[in-house]
């Protein structure tokens, strides 16, 4: 992670402005609920569970659910059903981005509802929001029911969590209690949390059956975090250290530090961490990590954007116009702060990130797809497809990469009975592709239609959504 990002990550939860959040609900689409039946005929289904492509099949969707799947001719299609010709096309489950930000708590800006169209147009029908607060959670609940009712075109927010740091271990535990009372689905921890507070957070969260996910604190080893019950490591936090032959010494130098002092020590050590990458050490660690069940959300696309952020002229990117103007300003400021030193570190980090993911995957460590959208250079929705390609470049098969954005998140979030694959009874969150994604992962971008809780959005609808997104003005 680049230096300014570390600072950003380290910031504490600020109370969200309720007035701004309520104002944002004016952005709810006024579309009519659509409970008609839709039949996708003669389509090939990518069975992410079974691991193969089956078909041709006819898939009948009714009331937002997959009502039946069968050989063409074997499924009775109601006369009133809308028909979609699936011949030569491929149906995959709606994609999930496991690391996004829908709220701007630090900068006190309104929520990132401008990004909804970008997710949906890219087939991202579910997201895990990584940082909210009590007021934001109320808004998430309204978004969820509006999506289910067909009133809002947005990805379903599958989970949202509250970041806890605390001024003392006791205060950290109280922060967990407050997050539970606010209805958080998980507790998020950041890199700057002192290990004493972190242990108090884990203990309190365990007593409330709340998952703890996020960054592994910079003074804790990845294996310790995994063995202590932190369910994810995001952005490969502490994985670089765990793959260094000097991990012991590096972490020793961080003991007793917290907050800014800890982050600046970690920053100053980063070149050394990358320089001492050791494949054998990494392999041994990954083997041990695989037995813990901890899941990695490497957000490779974030590291990738890092390596060219300095030179990238976002104004030339056709997606730039889709960002809300205040977000464009944020990206521009970020790029202006990006130093040559940041770029040098990013170039060192990038190949190592790939090698770590590859080693972890070979060792059987579970991996989920996430992007950290909308970090500068990381375009919501679009970035998930880039992440899938980067996972394939790190050794996952296209099917495994698809699973990392469908079935694995569903299992992780305990919603496998309603999400994560194309199966009867599940929510009709689906993506219809013009080409086979198991042959070439880039084909996930060849989107013919998206179905959101049973609501069909054809290519022309998706293009219209994006055009409308480009018209969003300053909040």
**How far apart (Å, rounded) are the C-alpha atoms in residues 258 and 267?**
13
Alpha-carbon distances, residue 358 vs 298, 300, 353, 449 (angstroms): 11, 12, 9, 32
**How far apart (Å, rounded) are the C-alpha atoms in residues 350 and 344?**
10
Shortest Å distance, C-beta 214 to Zn ion: 8
User: Which residues inside 334-373 make contact with Zn ion, applying CB under 5 A?
Assistant: 372
Shortest Å distance, C-beta 217 to Zn ion: 15
Measured from the CB atom, the residue of 133 and 372 that comes closer to Zn ion is 372
Residue nearest to Zn ion (CB): 372
Shortest Å distance, C-beta 167 to Zn ion: 23
Q: Report if residue 400 touches Zn ion, rule: CB under 5 A.
A: no
Residue 179 sits at the vertex; the CA angle it makes with 176 and 184, to the nearest 5 degrees, is 125
Q: Where are the alpha helices (DSSP H) in 149-212?
A: 169-182, 195-207
Measured from the CB atom, the residue of 247 and 372 that comes closer to Zn ion is 372
Contacts of 211 (CB under 8 A, 6+ apart): 185, 186, 187, 205, 231
Measured from the CB atom, the residue of 42 and 233 that comes closer to Zn ion is 233
**How far apart (Å, rounded) are the C-alpha atoms in residues 368 and 297?**
5
Taking each helix axis from N to C terminus, what angle separates 3-10 and 259-275, rounded to the nearest 10 degrees?
140
The secondary structure element, H or E, covering residue 469 is helix 459-469
Q: Report if residue 297 touches Zn ion, rule: CB under 5 A.
A: no
Q: Report if residue 97 touches Zn ion, rule: CB under 5 A.
A: no
Using alpha carbons, select from 372, 421, 363, 442 the residue that is nearest to residue 395. 363
Shortest Å distance, C-beta 193 to Zn ion: 15
Which of the stretches 130-138, 150-158, 166-174, 450-458 binds Zn ion when contact is defined by CB under 5 A? 130-138
Q: Report if residue 305 touches Zn ion, rule: CB under 5 A.
A: no
Task: Assess contact for 147 and 139: CB atoms under 8 A.
Answer: no
Shortest Å distance, C-beta 197 to Zn ion: 20
With CB under 5 A as the contact rule, the residue among 43, 105, 130, 243 that binds Zn ion is: 130
Measured from the CB atom, the residue of 130 and 301 that comes closer to Zn ion is 130
Measured from the CB atom, the residue of 381 and 437 that comes closer to Zn ion is 381
Which of the stretches 41-49, 73-81, 125-133, 252-260 binds Zn ion when contact is defined by CB under 5 A? 125-133
The binding site for Zn ion (CB under 5 A) comprises 130, 372
């Amino acid at each position: 992670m680049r230096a300014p990002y570390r600072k950003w990550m380290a910031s504490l939860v600020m109370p969200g402005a309720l007035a701004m959040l309520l104002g944002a609900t004016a952005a709810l689409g006024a579309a009519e609920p659509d409970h008609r039946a839709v039949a996708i005929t003669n389509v090939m289904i990518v069975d992410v569970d079974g691991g193969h492509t089956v078909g041709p099949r006819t898939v009948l969707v009714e009331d937002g659910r997959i009502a039946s799947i069968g050989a063409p001719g074997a499924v009775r299609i109601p006369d009133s059903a809308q028909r979609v010709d699936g011949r030569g096309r491929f149906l995959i489950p709606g994609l999930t981005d496991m690391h996004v930000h829908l709220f701007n708590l630090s900068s006190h800006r309104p929520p990132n509802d401008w990004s909804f169209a970008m997710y949906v147009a890219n087939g991202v029908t579910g997201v895990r929001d990584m940082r909210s607060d009590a007021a934001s959670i109320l808004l998430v609940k309204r978004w969820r029911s509006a999506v289910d009712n067909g009133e809002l075109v947005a990805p379903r927010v599958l989970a949202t969590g509250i970041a806890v740091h605390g001024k003392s271990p006791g205060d950290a535990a109280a922060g967990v209690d407050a997050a539970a009372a606010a209805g958080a689905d998980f507790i998020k921890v950041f890199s700057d949390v002192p290990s004493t507070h972190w242990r108090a957070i884990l203990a309190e969260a365990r007593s409330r059956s709340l998952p703890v996910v996020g960054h592994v604190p910079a003074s804790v080893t990845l294996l310790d975090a995994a063995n202590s019950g932190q369910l994810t490591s995001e952005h490969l936090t502490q994985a670089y250290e765990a793959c260094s032959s000097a991990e012991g010494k590096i972490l020793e130098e961080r003991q007793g530090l917290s907050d800014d002092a800890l982050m600046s020590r970690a920053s100053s050590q980063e070149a050394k961490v990358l320089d001492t990458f050791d494949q054998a050490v990494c392999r041994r660690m990954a083997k041990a990590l695989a037995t813990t069940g901890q899941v990695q959300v490497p957000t490779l696309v974030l590291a990738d954007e890092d390596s060219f952020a300095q030179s990238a002229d976002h104004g030339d990117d056709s997606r730039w116009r889709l960002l809300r103007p205040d977000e464009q300003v944020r990206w521009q400021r970020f790029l202006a702060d990006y130093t040559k030193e940041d770029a040098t570190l990013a170039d060192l980090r990038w190949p190592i990130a790939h090698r770590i993911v590859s080693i972890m995957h070979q060792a059987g460590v579970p991996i989920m797809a996430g992007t950290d959208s909308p970090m500068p250079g990381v375009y919501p929705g679009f970035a998930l497809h880039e992440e899938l390609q980067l996972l394939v470049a790190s050794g996952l098969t296209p099917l495994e990469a698809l699973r990392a954005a469908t079935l694995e998140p569903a299992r992780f979030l305990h919603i496998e009975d309603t999400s994560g694959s194309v199966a009867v009874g599940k929510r009709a969150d689906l993506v219809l592709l013009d080409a086979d994604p198991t042959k070439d992962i880039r084909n996930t971008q060849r989107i013919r239609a998206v179905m959101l809780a049973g609501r069909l959005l054809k290519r022309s609808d998706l293009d219209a959504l994006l055009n409308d997104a480009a018209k969003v003005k300053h909040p």
